[in-house]
Amino acid sequence: MNHLITIIGPTAIGKTSLSIALAKHFECSILSCDSRQFFKEMSIGTAAPNKDELDAAPHYFIQNKSIFENYTVGDFEQEAITKLDELFSANNVQIMVGGSGLYVDAVLKGFDDFPDIESTIRSKINSDFELLGIDYLQNKLKEFDGKYYQKLLTENPQTLQNPQRMKRFVEVCLGTGKPYSSFIGQKKNNRHFMPIIIGLEAEREVMYDRINKRVDIMIKEGLLEEAKALHPYKHLNALQTVGYRELFDYFDGKVSLKFAIEEIKKNTRRFAKRQLTWFKRTENAVWFDYLTEQEKIINYIQSKTK
């Protein structure tokens, strides 16, 4: 039986350190499913593992793409499953780690099949969104798939504020004439492994303090210079993320540097809260305090791999 040890939790909680300890113990590799760490131009602002950490165990999907490439969660699912099949042929225990819940779900459960949508429909939705804002997308989803809209409103309200996700829901509705939710659960995704899901958490104040300190370290390590080099490409999807958007506003003269840094801390704290909300819904996850001795976690995992 193949086992995929999956480490989840909010940013700055210690997932990288634990993954390396486990990789050394089980003599296996680490797959990253942090959607921000895929891009080689973004290292400081995404807290990508440093050289010593990368040398400590084999890593995959770390800085393997460019911000100029169009890389989707579907692309990642296919590449990750192919890599896992290869790795499992040598060792029946492997590790996946990251804070991107959608990408974790892609590997563990897979995605449903959705039909291709004509580009003209997508362009029309983009134009209407630019004119009318997120309310337009919300109203369209409510009109075409009221049950799914209510489900999001109850279980995952932040998704209703996410333009990219909302555009996708609406384009499927408009392009097919069917509710987006009618395509969910139609496809059976087979996985040749059993997940062992480890969650790391901390008291909220501890988590927030760790985030604030990490941002200060990023600034000292050169985040300002990294963001400055990326500023000409601020329109790219890969750069629509915390840690860069705030500094782009500073470079554009909209805010002071001090304000931008405080916004990075605030928005990262909000991001961590959303991560926890997402991951706490993960079935069969076992949660440990971030200070738990690694030996205790290893013992738990070994009890599940026998």
**82 & 165 share domain:** no
Q: Per-residue confidence at 246, pLDDT binned at 50, 70, 90?
A: very high
Yes or no: say if 90 and 62 are a contact pair by the CB < 8 Å rule: no
- In the chain, at which residue ranges do the beta strands (DSSP E only) sit? 3-8, 30-32, 59-60, 93-97, 194-201, 286-289
Return the pLDDT at 203: 96
Q: What is the mean pLDDT of residues 195-210?
A: 97
Annotated binding residue 12: yes
For residue 171, give the CATH number of its domain: 1.10.20
Per-residue burial over 69-105, b if 16 or more Cβ lie within 10 Å, else e, is eebeeeebbebbbeebeebbeeebbbbbbbbbbebbb
> What does pLDDT average to over the chain?
93
Q: How far apart are CA 226 and CA 41, in angstroms?
A: 8
pLDDT digits (tens, 9 = 90+) for 130-185: 999 999 999 999 999 999 999 999 888 888 998 989 999 999 999 889 899 988 87
Domain boundary among 130, 159, 183: 183
For residue 80, give the CATH number of its domain: 3.40.50.300
pLDDT at residue 112 greater than cutoff 80: no
φ/ψ bin of 166: left (φ > 0), alpha (ψ from -120 to 50), beta (otherwise)? alpha
Return the pLDDT at 116: 80
pTM: 0.81
Retrieve residue 12's tokens: 């700055």
Q: Among positive and negative, which fits the CA dihedral 168, 169, 173, 179?
A: positive
Q: How far apart are CA 51 and CA 255, in angstroms?
A: 34
Q: Per-residue confidence at 129, pLDDT binned at 50, 70, 90?
A: very high
Annotated binding residue 9: yes
Domain count, the chain: 2
Q: What is the mean pLDDT of residues 179-192?
A: 82
Domain boundary among 183, 215, 237: 183
Measured between alpha carbons, how far is residue 103 from residues 22, 37, 136, 274 in Å? Answer: 21, 12, 27, 15
Per-residue burial over 217-245, b if 16 or more Cβ lie within 10 Å, else e, is ebbeeebbebbeebeeebebebbebbbbb
Percent of the chain with pLDDT over 90: 77
**163 & 106 share domain:** no
pLDDT at residue 222 greater than cutoff 90: yes
**124 & 202 share domain:** no
State which residues form the domain around 60. Answer: 3-111+189-305
Annotated binding residue 13: yes
Annotated binding residue 254: no
**284 & 168 share domain:** no
Q: How far apart are CA 205 and CA 302, in angstroms?
A: 32
Domain boundary among 183, 200, 226: 183
**59 & 10 share domain:** yes
Retrieve residue 66's tokens: 């460019």
For 204, phi then psi, to 5°, come to -55, -45
Annotated binding residue 277: no
pLDDT at residue 111 greater than cutoff 80: no
Annotated binding residue 305: no
Q: Per-residue confidence at 188, pLDDT binned at 50, 70, 90?
A: low
